[in-house]
Structure 1
Amino acid sequence: MERNGSKYTVPEKALNIYSPTSALKGIGPAKFSALKEIGIETLFDLINYFPRKYLDRTSITPIGSAKTGTEINLVGKVEAAGLVKGRKRSFFKAIISDKSGMITLIWFNGARFISKSIKVGDRLAVSGKVEFYNNLQIVHPEFDKLKENEDPLSSGIISPIYSIPAPLKANKIDNLFLKKIIRSLINEIETVPDYFSDKFRKEHSLILISEALKQIHFPSTSNALNNAINRLKFSEHFFFQLMMLSRKSLLDKLPSKPLIKTGVQTKLVYNTIDFELTKAQKRVLKQIKDDLSQPYAMNRLLQGDVGSGKTIIAILAAAISVSNKFQVAIMAPTEILANQHYKSFKKYADSAQISCALLVGGMPAGKRKKILTALKNHKIDMIVGTHALIQKDIEFSSLGLVIVDEQHRFGVNQRNTLVQKGVNPHLLSMTATPIPRTLAITYHGDMELSIIDELPKDRIPVVTKMVSEKRLNRVYSFMVDEVKAGRQCIIVYPLIEESEKSDLSAAIDMYNTLSENEFKDLRVGLLHGRQDKSEKEKIMQNFSENKINILLSTTVIEVGIDVPNATVMLIENAERFGLTQLHQLRGRVGRGNKKSYCILVQRKINEHSKKRLKIMESTNDGFKISDEDLKMRGPGEFFGIKQSGFFNFKIADLLLDGKMIKEARTAAETMLNNDIDTLRNTHDKIYSELISAYKDRLNQLLPKG
């Protein structure tokens, strides 16, 4: 049974799995509301609320044998317990003992809640890491209350530990309560029908879903728990892959206008290119041309490292569309990037007499109206813009190709809104964030993938160095020398939502300090997100024309600056950036034929940040960097906040389940066989489960009726 699984038919005497949680004894209106607040509304939701970890009471260490730095399981009696007033806040302290010794337990978080759960005389099974501070202690241990005469060794229980968010705590729903109601629920549900056949389960070494649900909450042995985890993980991966493959199958059949002609405009654009395309660019261009020539809508992701030459490929694809009398929309996530693309596209468009316009927010009403009218009457062939392109009053005469840059920074609905302004136009998405293969088949499993895995021949790798703040004066002197040699530099300050005000203030203070001291004889510019549009554009223009020698900026320049003359990128507080973001920032220099440098200033040194910055020093390979970034930050943060909830897995792990993901995808491919209608007719239980779990992602594509 899955998180959003189909509504199973259960035996008449059994509890209805889709009844509200209030159907269980002990759950009144207050507890029902608290559970609902964290997404547990039905008994089905409850049985799929898996433990976050387990307290293994099958191996108990005597307290007297506890050693600092080890993870151990203990059993002891509470000798003393109570809230203690600390310097900043109160914490809860308990001392437990067995025949061999005593140990202190400390809780800083949720101290008041814990104080109501643990009393003197209680017997606890405890799990955690032993530390030494005046005496042996465990901070924030997991614990489980034992019954009065319960022998943890003879009962050998692996006990579930559930997350207890604030709404549950406020309504006296603790770990013991959850264990009690989930156990009663499992006892009431006699069997849960399985959507996988016996043959399928045998092929993939999977246990029954009903057994998996019992064992995930109350494992009889470690092996039984592993089998339950394996089954539930596989199911999540399988249905996600099946959904993505179903989407791909349906998208591949969307009828669209074939763009067959290469056309005069495309040839004129191609002849304007003053460099030779790399083999990788030529290969990717052929893939895109082949897609565009089909009577079905292209749905392709173009992935390429910083500076690999994605933009020129997008321009050539756009020229093909225009040659076939269709319009092109190019959407970028920021105005800076939209402006940059507009300049690039317009340069080549002018050479081929293709009309190209820019549409961003905050334009004068008259100018905007003019563009909208021209767009509707096909007086504009290519339009470059931001989210402004998806507004309701934007109409195209004949939209043939949509290009979305840095596509992971848009929500799925935003991309769909732009695509829906045409009749199944071709879609080319682009990203400069290299994505590891296993993750790509999951996250982009409904798209064809093109990779530009080669940089232009004349590109000199950027030299990256990590420095402490003590060496900054030498770095500033080096930057002055670079400017004297005719080159330009960029200094980047971090700017994050939680501390935006203080971050901005620090950047402005540093601008004032540097422009009055170290760089007093140079032209220094300041760029940040709170400046108005015209001011930002003027600064960018001045930097492009070398009227600004050193640009101090917040992270608004992460993508969008293309100044080949910039040779030094100094990143302040580099430890505050993710690896992929640092790599993107580094990509703003080294775009010309001069040796370039990226200097990472680390102010708060710890082992974790040092490791990350060492990776930046050691490689310019975006794929290696993204692999490491993904391991360190996890997929949610890696892809950014726009994609929160995209995977929505309860138990599956995209980082650790690589082998299983491939197996699940192969199984889903075999079962789907590129035809969702056949799936519905031959595997109706699986089809029902798929639609129930992912109807929001498939409904728009499924035939009506």
Structure 2
Amino acid sequence: MNSQQFQTPIEYLKGVGLARAEVLKKELRIFTFEDLLKHFPYKYIDRTRFYKIKDVQPDMPYVQVLARLISKEIIGEKHTKRLVAQAKDDTGIIELVWFQSIKWVEKTLIPGKAYVLFGKPGFFNGKAQMAHPEMELYNSGAAQQRGTLTLQPAYNSTEKLKQFTLDSKGLQKLIAGLLDQHAKDIHENIPAYLLNRFKLAPRADSYRNIHFPDNAAQLNEAIQRLKFEELFFLQLKLLKNKLTRASKFKGNIFGTVGHYFNEFYHHKLPFELTNSQKRVLKEIRIDTQRGVQMNRLLQGDVGSGKTVVALMSMLIAIDNGFQTCIMAPTEILANQHFQTIKSLVGDDFVEVALLTGSVPQKKRRVIHEKLEDGSLKILIGTHALIEDKVRYQNLGLVVIDEQHRFGVEQRAKLWRKNIVPPHILVMTATPIPRTLAMTLYGDLDVSVINELPAGRKPIETKHFYEAQRLRMFGLMKQEITKGRQIYVVYPLIQESEKLDLKNLMDGTEIMSREFPLPQFRISVVHGKMAAADKDFEMQRFIKGETQIMVATTVIEVGVNVPNASVMIIENAERFGLSQLHQLRGRVGRGAEQSYCILMTCPKLSNDGRIRINTMVKTNNGFEIAEIDMQLRGPGNIEGTQQSGVLDLKVANLATDQELLITARKCVEDILTKDPQLALPENLLLNQPFQAKNAGLSWDKIS
């Protein structure tokens, strides 16, 4: 595509103008010719079939009829005025009615002429009828006239756009005009050898045929070509960035494993590492010896032992004379990491500090001084770590937890804290489907911890309907008798008239009756409570002063109570799969058998049933994430919306997994042979605007 031509502001397209341009920008974010060209149809109406009038039925969504107009008449007065016409074929007569634009329509109708009629059929007094049909004069010589005898595109529009006659038909007209004027400016961007290898249609043809296909085969070819292009350039950007970073950013070499690592591993580590943890540590060890900046993603379910791997990686950095830090998105998570690491290393082994917005100024100054003189080796905190005042003597390793919650610029600030950029270890407890990881984190190396620590038993998940509530109470009492604690999670705080849900306030009352004082004590936590009250209630539960915590989803992250063995989720059908999985991960943190009880109403939607059955069937976060992506689509998976990477127009990561893997493998092969894209056959891929077409740019290292 000639990028300059297609970057022309939309107001300069014939038929748009300033007023229509404004509404296109506001309603559909169409700013340029390219944006309009990439406003693809969301469905196609089959205009290849003609019905005889006698075959028309009132329950049909729409029909297309070829008939001759035999009469037209305006009847009624003022508010009841309407235009009524009749058309006939060799099987019968159909009545056509208009209530709007009567005078204009009446002028265009010519009795005696054959028309193609298209619209929603109805019946009035036993006669077939069509209100406000689309009508075009039949041209027997133009068997493929666009929008009549083909698959007609349907475009997303809005009420505001319709006021400017930019309904689906209006948008179709604009796009047809754009293609008529500028199809010649859509230049090929994929080399001929790849077009031949993958049997891809030419680019200009594909853009025309995705909007105005003559048949289903032509449409499928166009979609396949544009999907491949989208995924290919996305992967080319990610892998080219990875290569650029490897050549541009040298990395500190962690040449030795010394006192800190060995002392911790042999004398302080309270459990045996799993094989998964050992494998990931080995991968990190190899990365940090190559003299190139490490960029590794560490995936692992809640409770799989990522923090220990991060700590041991930091101890290797400290053994080599470097400082380290962990950046978490919330104070709760930063506090949790701080408590976990302090409990593992003790007080006199290595200095660890916590820096969040809540840390008093006096304490903050001490932390700043110790960072600058190099005596503080591990700093844990929130985005407070990237403030300009925070200066390290020699930052060697940065661990970023749940990185999708941080912007590119925030992460880049940490890189600039050292002359040689620190090694980066990104951690996520949100299992990511493979194809999504290849897209969101396609420029990172990926490690996976897929084993539970020794002694942990898989959580047993049960599904109970409302009628089985007494069984649930029985299980709760049984666990409390053993000295265990229980979470009960509700989706809402107060009753909603729109949603027939159990709510937290009613739930607390029911629990109080079933588990009365003084034998039982209940904590209540929800998002509308003051922070101090919330913390007080959480601390009571953590200390074991209360046996039941009734809560909303505020306990999804940041609460670690190994003694809690039951998670009850009320109205579980109202939660997404990933949220259910995260909530379940709050239990099963000790050696005892833990349970997750999913309470639902008797009637479940198809998606609701799939979610509940999936939870009962598996504890595997990656399997759950795959099913979640199939149900919700990749753009709704937590953290992907703000990533900016998933602005895919044609491809769908949930359904186009094979094509993504093919595109990535193809890019890997090309860059292995020609990393600079300098060979004559690859010069087309090295044009600056190609990256722009992928919505990305080579020089912005993310």
Normalising by structure 1, report the TM-score.
0.84
1:572 aligns with 2:570: yes
Residue 232 (str. 1) matches residue 226 (str. 2): yes
Which residue of structure 1 lines up, in the alignment, with residue 466 of structure 2?
469
Go from structure 1 to structure 2 and tell me whether the alpha carbon gap of 1:401 and 1:605 turns closer, same or farther (over 3 Å shift): same
Given that residues 460 and 596 in structure 2 are in contact (C-alpha distance below 8 angstroms), is that contact kept between their aligned partners in structure 1? yes
Q: 1:27 aligns with which of 16, 25, 38?
A: 16
Q: Which residue of 1 aligns with 2:554?
A: 556
Q: Which residue of 2 aligns with 1:174?
A: 167
Choose the corresponding residue for 2:490, options 493, 506, 523: 493
Question: Are residue 36 (structure 1) and residue 25 (structure 2) matched?
Answer: yes
The alpha-carbon distance between structure 1 residues 363 and 510, as it changes in their structure 2 partners (threshold 3 A), is farther
Q: 1:528 to 1:368 in 2, by over 3 A?
A: farther
**What corresponds to 1:86 in structure 2?**
none
Name 1:634's counterpart in structure 2: 633
Secondary structure (helix, strand or coil) at the match of 2:426 reads strand
**Secondary structure in 2 matching 1:146:** strand
Letter in 1 for 2:135: L
Shift of 1:197: 2.6
Rounded Cα–Cα distance in structure 2 between residues aligned with 1:68 and 1:462: 54
In 2, distance between residues paired with 1:534 and 1:469? 34
Of stretches 672-681 and 283-292 in structure 1, the one that deviates more from structure 2 is 672-681
Paired position in structure 2 for 1:13: none
| 5+ residue gaps, structure 2 | 74-83, 110-114
1:471 counterpart SS class:
helix
Q: Given the alignment, which residue of 131, 146, 154 partners 1:161?
A: 154
> What is aligned with 1:267?
262
In structure 2, which of residues 236, 241, 248 is the aligned counterpart of residue 242 of structure 1? 236
Give 1:243 shift: 0.6
Contact persistence 1:280–1:454 (CA under 8 A): yes
**Pairing 1:426–2:423 present:** yes
**Partner residue of 2:608?**
609
Aligned residue number for residue 367 of structure 2: 371
Cα shift at 1:75: 4.3
2:40 to 34, 46, 50: 50
Counterpart for residue 624 of structure 2: 625
Tell me if structure 2 keeps the 8 A contact 1:62–1:98. no
Deviation at 1:291, TM superposition (A): 1.0
Corresponding position of 2:134: 145
Q: Does 1:507 align with 2:504?
A: yes
More off after superposition, 454-463 vs 584-593: 454-463
Give the match's secondary structure for 2:562.
coil
SS in 1 for 2:297: strand
Change in Cα spacing, 1:403 to 1:237, as seen in structure 2 (3 Å) is same
Alpha-carbon distance, 1:276 to partner: 1.4
CA distance in 2, matches of 1:73, 1:260: 74
1:512-556 alpha-carbon deviations (Å, 9 max, x no partner): 552355343312112233444444444333323212211122212
Q: Whole-Å Cα distance in 1 between the matches of residues 102 and 565 of structure 2? A: 59
Once residues 147 and 406 of structure 1 are traced to their aligned partners in structure 2, the CA distance between those partners, rounded to angstroms, is 56
Task: Assess, with a 3 A threshold, how the Cα gap between structure 1 residues 163 and 642 changes in structure 2: closer, same or farther.
Answer: closer
Residue in 2 that maps onto 1:653: 652
Contact 2:404 2:643 (8 Å CA) reproduced: no
Corresponding residue of 2:182? 189
State how far apart, in whole Å, the 2-side matches of 1:234 and 1:97 are: 46
- Bigger drift between 227-236 and 680-689 goes to 680-689
Alpha carbons of structure 1 residues 642 and 472: separation in structure 2 relative to 1, 3 Å: same
Q: What's the secondary structure of 2:451's corresponding residue?
A: coil
Alpha-carbon separation, structure 2, partners of 1:515 and 1:674: 69
2:441 maps to 444
Q: Is the 8 A contact 2:280 2:449 kept in 1?
A: yes
Aligned CA distance change for structure 1 residues 97 and 163 (closer, same or farther; 3 Å): farther
**Alignment of 1:587 onto 2:585:** yes
Can you list the C-alpha shifts for 1:223-256, whole angstroms capped at 9, x where unaligned?
1111111111111011000011011112233112
After TM superposition, the structure 1 = structure 2 runs for residues 64-463 of structure 1, keeping only pairs within 5 Å, are 74-75=64-65, 124-126=117-119, 145-149=134-138, 156-189=149-182, 191=184, 192-253=186-247, 254-271=249-266, 272-350=268-346, 353-422=349-418, 423-463=420-460
Distance 2:154 2:458 in 1: 50
Counterparts of 1:528-543 in structure 2, within 5 Å, are 528-543=526-541
Shift of 1:680: 8.8
**How far does the alpha carbon of each residue in 1:610-643 deviate from its partner, in whole angstroms, 9 at most, with x for none?**
2210111111121221111110011111133653
Residues 511 and 552 of structure 1 are in contact (CA less than 8 Å); yes or no, is this contact kept in structure 2?
yes
| 2:297 and 2:446 in contact (8 A); partners too | yes
Cα deviation for residue 387 of structure 1 reads 2.8
2:656 maps to amino acid: D
Q: RMSD in angstroms over aligned alpha carbons?
A: 4.1
**1:302 aligned counterpart, secondary structure:** strand
Aligned partners of 2:191 and 2:685 also within 8 Å: no
Distance 1:98 1:593 in 2: 79
> Does the Cα contact within 8 Å between 2:56 and 2:63 map onto a contact in 1?
no
**Equivalences for residues 691-702 of structure 1 within 5 A:** 691-693=691-693, 697-701=697-701
1:523 match: 521
Verify the 8 A CA contact 1:60 1:153 in the aligned structure 2: no
Give the TM-score taking structure 2 as reference length. Answer: 0.85
What is the deviation of 1:154?
A: 7.4
Cα pair distance change 1:353/1:154, threshold 3 Å: closer
Contact in 2 for aligned 1:488/1:565 (Cα 8 Å): yes
Please report how far the alpha carbon of residue 125 of structure 1 lies from its aligned counterpart in structure 2 after TM superposition. Answer: 2.8
SS in 1 for 2:489: strand
3-state DSSP of counterpart to 2:3: coil
Asked whether the 8 Å contact 2:640–2:646 carries over to 1, the reply is: no
- Is the CA contact (8 Å cut-off) linking 1:464 and 1:598 kept in structure 2? yes
Contact 2:502/2:571 (<8 A) preserved: no
C-alpha change, 1:293 and 1:621, in structure 2 (3 Å) is same
SS at match of 2:676: helix
The letter of the residue matching 1:44 is: E
Which residue identity lines up with residue 453 of structure 2 in the other structure? Answer: P
Q: CA 1:131/1:392 → structure 2, altered by over 3 Å: closer, same or farther?
A: farther
**Separation of aligned partners in 2, 1:293 and 1:501:** 59
What is the rounded CA distance, in whole Å, between the counterparts of 1:282 and 1:660 in structure 2?
A: 33
- Unaligned ranges ≥5, structure 1: 9-15, 81-93, 106-111
- Work out whether residues 494 and 503 of structure 2, in 8 Å CA contact, stay in contact via their aligned partners in 1: no
Question: What is the deviation of 1:49?
Answer: 2.0
Taking structure 1 as reference, are residues 696 and 17 closer, same or farther at Cα in structure 2, changes over 3 Å only? closer
Q: Deviations over 1:643-667 (max 9, x none)?
A: 3532211111111112211221122
Query: Residue type matched to 2:257 in 1?
Result: T
The aligned amino acid for 1:282 is: K
If you compute each CA radius of gyration, which structure gives the higher value, 1 or 2? 2
Residue 592 of structure 2 aligns with an amino acid whose one-letter code is K
Name the CA shift for 1:340/1:62 in 2 (closer, same or farther; >3 Å).
farther
Residues 625 and 523 (structure 1), Cα distance of their counterparts in 2 relative to 1, 3 Å cut:
same
Assess if the C-alpha contact under 8 Å between 1:266 and 1:323 holds in 2: yes
Give the drift of 1:285.
1.0
Identity among equivalent pairs (%): 38
Task: Measure the CA separation in 2 of the matches of 1:114 and 1:410.
Answer: 53
Contact 1:142 1:161 survives alignment (8 Å): no
